[in-house]
Amino acid sequence: MQIKIINKSSHTLPNYETIASAGMDLRANISETITLKPLERTIVKTGLFIELPIGIEAQVRPRSGLAAKKGVTVLNAPGTIDADYRGEIGVILVNLSKEDFIIENGERIAQLVIAKHERAEWIHVEELSETSRGEGGFGSTGTK
């Protein structure tokens, strides 16, 4: 699949690091370092603008290493970039650790996954089919 992209950053285009990678790293495109204090959030710009085909979304997801090692994650994970959005890709980062996190220009801050999606058509009914789970909610399918 080909996707149009404008790169106004000073960094190379996102790319897949291995043949089996699902995501591509997004890098911070900032003129000054950002200090993200504990429990603080900020939007970090990437300098990237994309044009997705209809039926395709780009998902902004946390980098597992950043989350595990530094306690920094994407706040609205996964963030969705719709096919009709033409603005700059920004990443909402939150620092869930007890220490300041310094974001440098070029820092790998998130990953981008390209995915197909479906559009639903609602069918109004009066009742739904029975299942073994029924109306069991959060945690109802696990065992102790």
Measured CA to CA, the distance from residue 95 to residue 37 in angstroms comes to 7
Measured CA to CA, the distance from residue 10 to residue 55 in angstroms comes to 30
Chain-centre distance of CA 96, in angstroms?
A: 17
In a domain, 144, yes or no: no
Measured CA to CA, the distance from residue 56 to residue 3 in angstroms comes to 10
The per-residue pLDDT string of the chain (144 residues; one tens digit each, 9 = 90 and over) reads 999 999 999 999 999 999 999 999 999 999 999 999 999 999 999 999 999 999 999 999 999 999 999 999 999 999 999 999 999 999 999 999 999 999 999 999 999 999 999 999 999 999 999 988 888 777 667 665
In a domain, 20, yes or no: yes
Eight-state DSSP code of residue 140? T
In a domain, 136, yes or no: no
Residue 107 domain boundaries: 4-116
In a domain, 103, yes or no: yes
Q: How many domains does the chain have?
A: 1
pTM for the complete prediction?
0.89
In a domain, 130, yes or no: no
In a domain, 131, yes or no: no
CATH code of residue 57: 2.70.40.10
